Amino acid sequence: MSTITTNDLKNGMTLALDTELFQVVEFQHVKPGKGGAFVRTTLKNSRTGAVVERTFRAGEKVERAVIDKRGMQYLYRDGDSFVFMDSDTYEQMPVGASALGDSVNYMIEGSEPVLLMHGDEIIGVDMPAAVELAVAETEPGIQGDRVSGARKPATLETGLVVQVPLFINPGEMVKVDTRSGEYLSKA
């Protein structure tokens, strides 16, 4: 790990503080009229997702964590774990669902998410902004059922339930936002 000063902080940077990994969500350099300058930060725990606010003196040294981004292919689900294959070495790696978080709702076999790794530990998943998934189950649309803004629940192939317009039928592909979990459009 490399040591940086708080003057070098940037949004998205990952820090190793108190044996935990924190991602910088927001930071602000403050120079009051009296006293020394300081840096006010909002940090997100990479393992638990908890958000904390912390203040550092300007120029204070902090440890920057090295995060490796690896392109992996999702192969299949094996009980409570998901099996990925490294695109470079073809090595298979089982990953627990807890390490993947909400991204399990958007992964289908053959998809290629980018896993964020710190050493051998997976701390997150970089997903595209939107994915296309098939509708597994929903009430069929009825001719003339075109009320503006009306929605119905639909279960997708990954098990995720989203609200879709009335005209969507089972078997159709829909585009879903991976950040909010909302229906975007028909694919």
Domain spanning 130-186 has what CATH number? 2.40.50.140
Cα–Cα distance measured from residue 160 to residue 108, given in angstroms and rounded to the nearest whole number: 12
Positions of CATH 2.30.30.30 in the chain:
2-64
- In DSSP terms, 34 is beta-bridged to none
Q: Where in the chain do CATH 2.40.50.140 domains reside?
A: 68-126, 130-186
Q: Domain 68-126: what homologous superfamily?
A: Nucleic acid-binding proteins (2.40.50.140)
Rounded alpha-carbon distances, angstroms, from residue 122 to 91, 105, 128, 140, 178: 15, 17, 18, 40, 19
Above 70 in pLDDT, residue 57? yes
Asked if the model's pLDDT at residue 106 lies above 70, the reply is yes
Domain range 2-64, its CATH number among 1.10.1740.10, 2.30.30.30, 3.40.50.300, 3.40.440.10: 2.30.30.30
For 180, phi and psi rounded to 5 degrees?
-110, -20
Query: Which region holds residue 42: left if phi is over 0, alpha if psi is between -120 and 50, else beta?
Result: beta
What CA–CA distances, in Å, run from 63 to 1, 8, 22, 103, 150? 6, 12, 11, 28, 51
85 residue type, one letter? M
**149 close to 166: Cβ distance less than 8 angstroms:** no
Give tens-digit pLDDT for 152-185.
899 999 888 999 888 888 889 999 998 888 898 8
- pTM > 0.75: no
Confidence check: pLDDT of 42 > 90: yes
Residue type, 48: T
